Amino acid sequence: MTGVRVAGVGLTQFGRQPERTGRDLFAEAALAAREDAGVPGDEIEEINYGNFMGSLAERQGHQAPLMAEMVGVNCPATRYEEACASAGVAVREAVRTVRSGEADVVLAGGCERMTNLSTAAVTEGLATAADDLYEIRAGITFPSAYALMARAYFDRFGGSREDLAHVAVKNHDNALPNEYAQFHREITVEEALDAPMVADPLGLLDACPVTDGASAVVFVSEEYAEANDLDAPVSVTGSGQGGDNLALQSREHLAVTPATERAASEAYAEAGREPADVDLVEVHDCFTIAEVMAIEGLGFYETGEGIGAARRGETTATGDRPVNLSGGLKAKGHPVGATGGSQIAEMTRLLRGDHPNSDHVSDATVGVTHNAGGTVASAVVHVLEVDR
């Protein structure tokens, strides 16, 4: 098997862009990734495209060949749908394809256009990632689902809304210099605690926003990178995917995420790494409690001990292991089908040294990305390493 290099990455601005189409957004990100990689379009052998709500938000199915057309590439193109982990799965399959030797160049990423819909319509669309029979028909939404998970966590392990507020403050601080982020404003713990309640104990500033945006990554084999003299110092050395029961009622406990644990275990084993080796992390913080459960599931904290990490300063930009230096979903934004690719792009920029927050991790060599679907019924974890 060959090694897998990240040859180039591309992102659009994340935020409210209702006037733009999904095809326009993805084309911008994909063409930027091609330019960053220095790879001709006719050498891209496959496109893996992540998208969740396109059939609802734009009444457009069969999107993958459309996206290939918009990028000016004529090759096999496949759409991957795994709720909020759609692009993470698209990336994972690209990595597996290149590693197996079936292709030397694969473009993977994703897109979501959401703000052209009303908030109620977006909420209804996102809820389809839950169990229709046992959750959606009972009125569950994702804010309420994660509120249940937060309550279960507090009941079992302790913690407070103030602990969660520190997560939000940290991620807003990290987003300030990120040119692609949706939010460029500081918030305080007090503001987070005083924000309107969405689903107790989660307030408005515990939740990620509704976002439009796209991401793209060009993956190449080590042999291709060497033969074409590409500047591609970042490698994907580990990839893992895990699953769990879809409905919360079917799980043993709501405060842990076995899908994350399974995905992380596989990714670490493949990379020959363990949690102690990791310098920085991008996790799926669709809600503040999700970041807490993610850093525990990834093995950085024992279960029940991650709740105070942001408050103690351990996961801040200047902490021992920074989490979500991009701003995370919370402040950078969460265009659902693009997020997994965005995490890879941001981690690549951080490790290469061309991210505005790279100065905080100038000696870092190992990073981990974590992308989750729904209430973490799906999880995808990647280990990235840079040549120093």
Q: What's 217's domain CATH number?
A: 3.40.47.10
Q: Examine the pLDDT at 1 and tell me if it is beyond 90.
A: no
Task: Return the structure tokens found at 168.
Answer: 């939000």
Q: Examine the pLDDT at 3 and tell me if it is beyond 90.
A: yes
Q: Is residue 35 part of a domain?
A: yes
Containing structural domain, residue 358: 4-117+209-379
In the sheet where 4-11 sits, what is the strand order? 77-80, 46-50, 105-112, 213-221, 4-11, 234-243, 378-386, 366-373, 280-282
Report pLDDT digits (tens) over 11-38: 999 999 999 999 999 999 999 999 999 9
Q: Examine the pLDDT at 342 and tell me if it is beyond 80.
A: yes
| pLDDT > 90 in the chain, percent | 99
Task: Return d(Cα 197, Cα 161) in angstroms, integer.
Answer: 11
Q: How many domains does the chain have?
A: 1
Q: Is residue 164 part of a domain?
A: no
Mean pLDDT for the stretch of residues 215-239? 98
Mean pLDDT for the stretch of residues 92-108? 98
Q: Is residue 300 part of a domain?
A: yes
Select from 242, 235, 203, 265 the least CA-distant residue to 373.
242
DSSP-based three-state secondary structure for 22 = helix
Q: Mind telling me the catalytic residues? A: 84, 334
Q: CB of 83 within 8 A of CB of 38?
A: no
Sorted by sequence, the CB contacts under 8 Å of residue 54 that are 6+ apart come out as: 22, 60, 61, 63, 111, 112, 113, 337
Q: What is the value of pTM for the model shown?
A: 0.97
Q: CB of 18 within 8 A of CB of 116?
A: yes
Q: Is residue 352 part of a domain?
A: yes
Q: Is residue 75 part of a domain?
A: yes
Task: Return the structure tokens found at 253.
Answer: 């406990």
Q: Is residue 185 part of a domain?
A: no
Residue 243 CA, distance from chain mean position:
16
Report pLDDT digits (tens) over 266-301: 999 999 999 999 999 999 999 999 999 999 999 999
Q: Is residue 143 part of a domain?
A: no
Cα distances (Å, whole numbers) of residue 277 to 18, 280, 344: 41, 10, 18
Q: Is residue 187 part of a domain?
A: no
Beta bridge partners of 383: 238, 368
pLDDT at 388: 76
Mean pLDDT over the full length of the chain: 97
Task: Return the structure tokens found at 291.
Answer: 């970041």
Report pLDDT digits (tens) over 156-202: 999 999 999 999 999 999 999 999 999 999 999 999 999 999 999 99
